[in-house]
Copies of this chain bind each other. A is one copy, B any other.
Amino acid sequence: MTMSPLLTIAPDDLLVRYSLDSSRLGQRPTVQRRLADLRGSFADVAEYEAALAAGNPVVYEVSSVEPASGDGQLHYGLGVLQPGRIGGEYYLTKGHLHSHRPAAEIYIGLKGEGAMVLEDEATGEVRLVPLVAHSAVYVPGHTAHRTVNTGAVPLVYLGIYPSNAGHDYSTIAARNFRHVVIATASGPVLVERQAHLASLLKS
């Protein structure tokens, strides 16, 4: 007789409590990404190096719960992205594609104000979608996704994804997103990276 699926799940994976005021998902370890870890992510290299010379703050933290793997199973993570800017760009996550490209992800906004950049890997089709408390963002498969904090407090969110999704960071590291999110007087605006880089050279 096979073991009951219920018995294969650790008790502390059946129920996980979290706080909106910490970056802890139950007792899970947290991965911290500091400014130095984000080299190459921001368009304005001079501003990035200047900020880094002044300090190396935590930009975001993630933790995850992986109760089981295989057909039909799900994993999830908690992200806490600090407020801040480098040049005109908001603090951001490295962003990723799923190793299993068809895998989608659902983000649940818990606290703060931010947005997600959704960029189709093949076509570059792009959307800037708000990520705020009491809302859900659907990230389809084959879509690079990055979170930006457009507000003044930490942005806290959950992401739920199939257990076989996997995280592919290297594709983004190699070519970055094709668009950046720039702070303007009227709020966050999506701009083509090449156009933004050209504007930095002129300024």
Contact = CB atoms under 8 A, between A and B. Distances in A.
Contacts of A129: 14-15
Interface residues of A, number: 58
A170 interface: no
B123 A4 contact: yes
Nearest to A158: B108
A98 B74 CA distance: 14
A135 B72 contact: no
Nearest to A76: B106
Contacts of A9: 138, 140
A162 B160 contact: no
Contacts of A162: 72, 74, 162
Contacts of A120: 4-7
Interface string A106-137: 10100000000010101101110110101111
A17 interface: yes
Nearest to A75: B106
A73 B136 contact: no
A178 interface: no
A70 B138 contact: no
Contacts of A6: 118, 120, 125-127, 140, 143
A132 B18 CA distance: 11
Contact of A130 (B15, B19, B101): B15
A49 interface: no
Contacts of A108: 108, 158
A8 interface: yes
